[in-house]
Amino acid sequence: MKADTLDLKDIFRKDTRYVVPRFQRPYVWNQEEHWQLLWEDLRLVVDDLMERRAEAEDQFERDEAQLNTSPHFLGAIVLDQQSTPTQKLETREIIDGQQRLITLQVLLSAAHSVSMELGGEESASMFEKLMYNDADLIRDEEDRLKVWPIGADKEAFTDVMSLSDPESDLTELDGDEVLHDCFRFFSGQIREWAEEGPEPTEEHLDSLVTTMWKLLRVVVIDLESNDDAQVIFETLNARGTPLLAADLIKNYLFREATIEQNDPGELHDKYWRQFDEDEWRVEVSQGRLDRPKIDVFIMHWLTMQMGQQIRAKKLFPAFRKFLDRTDLSTEEILENFDNYASIYEELTEPDTQSREAVFLRRLDVLDTTTPFPVLLYIFGQDDIPSNQRVKAVEAIESWLMRRMLCRLTSKNYNKIFIELLEELKETDDEDVGDTVVAFFQGKEGESDYWPTDDDLANAMVDLQYWSRINQRRLKMVFSAIERDLRDTGYSETLEITQDLQIEHILPQDWSHNWSLPGEQPAEVERIERDEVKNKVGNLTVLTDKLNPSVSNSAWEDKREAIHDHTVLLLNKHLVDTWPDEWNEETIAERGAWLADRASEVWKDPESSHWY
């Protein structure tokens, strides 16, 4: 076999048919595990190219920008040359990599479609050159497309590609096939990206063309006549356990240790042995995906060290780049790993009732890991005073929780926490908490501002929370308010450990026992009630036994049952404050009360608490 690293131009500009053998599985890639990650990787490259072009002072430097932009490696494909008559197109069977090649063709079709929609005909023409074979060489209709899938995918794939075919009359997709969804996803992402920022749309599309043509690389393995294609396919897909990025890092480090004339066995036993245990290889949540715990830890550690976003898929290359920059010896790096691994376990498995531990458990419910490089840094500095560490985590928690309760975007959190990390590295240890507070107080943009008490009150009275904020987070909010209600100095401060259920006080199916006021047309009141029932003022937490027993009951019966069985102060307040009726007005009143309580738990950015 022969292997070459090629860009998409080298693969798709040739007049070649890449055919998926009939015995292979249908197209199975999806948004969460594949399309989204591919788009994010592509964005990193194209955005880097655009930044370099923007900084260019003349055309020569602009042309050089492409050469200075790091390409993205898409993985490997295995192709088997087929015997074809002279008058037929050269054909290769795709032994491994059909999902990748089909996805790339759909991505090209989406880019072409958006380019035509936004007036980028020149860019569209460049995308088209990677999608279709030369018309003079086509003998059969299927020859026109570069990639030809198995029978189960042919119709959907042809539909998607026809949207960019100037010879086709198809103008829209009306099916719900996976490949249709793939096209819709990429076209939506490209359109949104192409129209954002100060750069003109044409600059976005031209940079995307350059990236697609020159900056996406694939290792192409071409089989020779004596290679058994099936054995190679099985070897690539079914045998052995894939190496983790941490395995590659480990091997590289100990090879470096040998070069430095250190004993790798001694270093392994002293610093690395713990990482060979199964607990470090278990899958943990990392955004939308699960990844090995050790890879996630090293990713956060490396982000902390380098002060830049490290993607899990680029972990090993990023680590090698770090080694090129650092003055640390191999042993110092291993010692650092060992030290921060203990800190990481404290962050992910807090076992105390300290304020920091309460924050960490709430952070787990928020299911965001973007603060972890900052937290590794803060918890890894022994000289930070305890009160400053507490202030830092309280400020981070308030910023995160207030933004969640106001249903604000979390899109740029990675960049924001890396920016905070760089400020902390320039801060004296005794000022760390004050620096975190001042950092978030200084944020004013839609994607990073720290909501005030007024913002919080407006959101918790006006916005719908049910189905917009997941139940685990809602239960955490009620638990935090309950904890604060009990934190009087006289009562015990208790955490809700029972898995309670979210209950609609005014039921979701309210028509059985709840009549409309009759003050406006019935349809108007019905719409208003269906909206207000999902606001936080209408929600509470009950046990899994009490909840279904009162589900659709009238307020009088429901209030009595809650009064008789609940031990929660927030529910006592509910039934004591509104004993007579429950309606749209009382839901707003309770939403305001909950907002007031939430503002006590998560302090306002200008609160005297921070000073």
pLDDT in tens, 319-362: 988 998 999 999 999 999 999 999 999 999 998 889 999 999 99
Cα-flanking dihedrals φ and ψ of residue 96, to 5°? -150, 130
Per-residue b/e over 152-180, b at no fewer than 16 CB within 10 Å?
ebeebbbbbbbbbbeeeeeeebeeebebb
Q: Which two tokens stand for residue 517?
A: 């006021």
Residue 5's pLDDT band, with cuts at 50, 70 and 90, is confident
pLDDT value at residue 493: 62
Give the integer Cα–Cα distance in Å for 378 and 429. 9
What rounded mean pLDDT belongs to the chain? 88
Hey, which bits of 253-300 come out as E strands? 283-286, 289-292
Pairing of the two strands 90-96 and 16-19:
parallel
**246: Cα within 13 Å, side-chain hemisphere:** 22
Residue 533's pLDDT band, with cuts at 50, 70 and 90, is very high
Give the integer Cα–Cα distance in Å for 461 and 478. 15
* 367: alpha, beta or left? (left if phi > 0; alpha if psi -120 to 50): left
Q: What's the alpha-carbon Rg for the chain, to the nearest Å?
A: 29
454-509 per-position pLDDT tens digit: 999 999 999 999 989 999 999 999 999 999 999 876 555 666 767 889 999 988 88
> Which are the contacts of 398, defined by CB distance < 8 A and separation ≥ 6?
450, 602, 603, 605
49-79 per-position pLDDT tens digit: 988 888 888 888 888 888 888 888 888 888 8
Give the integer Cα–Cα distance in Å for 573 and 571. 5
What percent of the chain has pLDDT above 90? Answer: 53
Q: Which two tokens stand for residue 77?
A: 């494909």
Give the integer Cα–Cα distance in Å for 340 and 344. 6
Is the sign of the CA dihedral 162, 163, 167, 170 positive or negative?
positive
Q: Which two tokens stand for residue 37?
A: 């990650």
* 489: alpha, beta or left? (left if phi > 0; alpha if psi -120 to 50): left
Residue 23's pLDDT band, with cuts at 50, 70 and 90, is low
> Which are the contacts of 96, defined by CB distance < 8 A and separation ≥ 6?
76, 77, 78, 232, 233, 236, 237
Q: Which helix (H) or strand (E) holds 541?
A: strand 539-542
Residue closest to 93 by CA, chosen among 80, 77, 78? 80
Q: Which two tokens stand for residue 297?
A: 């830890």
Per-residue b/e over 478-501, b at no fewer than 16 CB within 10 Å?
bbbbbbbbbeeeeeeeeeeeeebb
Can you give 159-222 as a three-state secondary structure string?
A: HHHHCCCCCCCCCCCCCCCHHHHHHHHHHHHHHHHHCCCCCCHHHHHHHHHHHHHHCEEEEEEE
Give the integer Cα–Cα distance in Å for 302 and 312. 11
Pairing of the two strands 216-223 and 72-81:
parallel
Q: Which helix (H) or strand (E) holds 455?
A: helix 453-462
